[in-house]
Amino acid sequence: MATGGTRAILAAMVANAGIAAAKFVAYLVTGSASMLAESVHSVADTSNQGLLLLGGRQARRIADDEHQFGYGRERYFWSFVVALVLFTLGGLYSLYEGIDKIRHPHEISALGWAIGVLIFGLFLEGFSFRTAIVEARKEKGDRRWWDYIRRSRSPELPVVLLEDAGAMLGLMIALIGVSLAAATGDPIWDGIGTIGIGVLLLVIASVLTVEMRSLLLGEAATKEDIAAITAAVRDSDGVERIIDLRSQHIGPEELLVAGKVEFDHSLTMSGVADAIDRCEKAIRDAVPYARRIYLEPDLFDPDHVGTPDLPPLRKGGH
């Protein structure tokens, strides 16, 4: 796991653990359903950071006979589990508490405690969120934030970003709900705030579930990396045409590349082997994390179902 990702996870874990303890104390004092929902939310988030760290550790295991491409997808699996935990412990529990609070309202006591803890939580979550943003910017480049979250092949930072953003919004919703309940004397606002937190968490969890499912199934390289790999092969000496080229992430920092390539017909068998070696070196120079490369020499067949629309490459002497 990248150092930046680990740093963001640890910052989020420390912040969420402190916030969870403060929120639960405030719930015991005030009896606020919003505070209880936020306590569960922070406990779930703290557990989630632990699961992300576990996934990073499991992914570093050495490949064996049973898992010959290694354990890189452990990071995708545990990020998927994080989305499920956020959905069940965070979203569904908050909805349950909010509905129960509306059906059976009761007054909130010690309002100062609730507001103080929520503001304290905003400061801690702000620190965690800022750390995640700083680390994510190193990978994001010129992409928009939503594109980065949707297209990133590394799961931890997008997960932490969405969790922290959800935590900040959830704290603000809880603060509004508690304040309205105190201002109007109607505790139903506390329940409405709790339901708002639940809906927010369900939306975030759904987005994470969809993205992590896609990564678990196996996503191809990004368009930029595919273009770089294609150019690297086409520009290699002895290459006539790329017949087919496929890629798949077998981990966030490990890419599998496979393809069929038509080489100069005048090459001997050893010449073809040398040309393949040159292609593989060019691919790794262009995309360093393309660690598994399998190129097969073949002849172009326009009737082949999997053949992409790639024009032949003509170079001097061919």
Torsion over CA of 254, 259, 264 and 265, rounded to 10 degrees?
140
Query: Which pLDDT does position 306 carry in this prediction?
Result: 53
DSSP state of 254: E
> Is CATH 1.10.1040.10 the classification given to domain 3-217?
no
Query: Which pLDDT does position 283 carry in this prediction?
Result: 96
Backbone angles phi, psi at 121, to 5 degrees: -65, -40
Query: Which pLDDT does position 318 carry in this prediction?
Result: 38
Integer-rounded Cα Rg, in Å, for the chain is 26
Q: How many CB atoms are closer than 10 A to CB 74?
A: 19
SS3 289: coil
Dihedral sign for Cα 107, 109, 111, 113, please: negative
With CA atoms as reference, report the closest residue to 204 among 120, 102, 84. 84
pTM given for the model: 0.76
The domain ranges of the chain are: 3-217, 223-297
Query: Which pLDDT does position 42 carry in this prediction?
Result: 79
Contact 187, 181 (CB under 8 A): yes
**Average pLDDT by consecutive 10-residue portion of the chain (318 residues)?**
69 84 82 75 81 87 87 89 79 84 77 80 86 85 85 85 86 87 85 88 88 89 93 94 93 92 93 95 95 92 57 42
Query: Which pLDDT does position 184 carry in this prediction?
Result: 87
SS3 83: helix
Backbone angles phi, psi at 241, to 5 degrees: -160, 145
CATH level 3 topology of 223-297: Alpha-Beta Plaits (3.30.70)
With CA atoms as reference, report the closest residue to 227 among 141, 140, 310, 314. 310
Query: Which pLDDT does position 171 carry in this prediction?
Result: 84
Q: Which two tokens stand for residue 309?
A: 């629309």
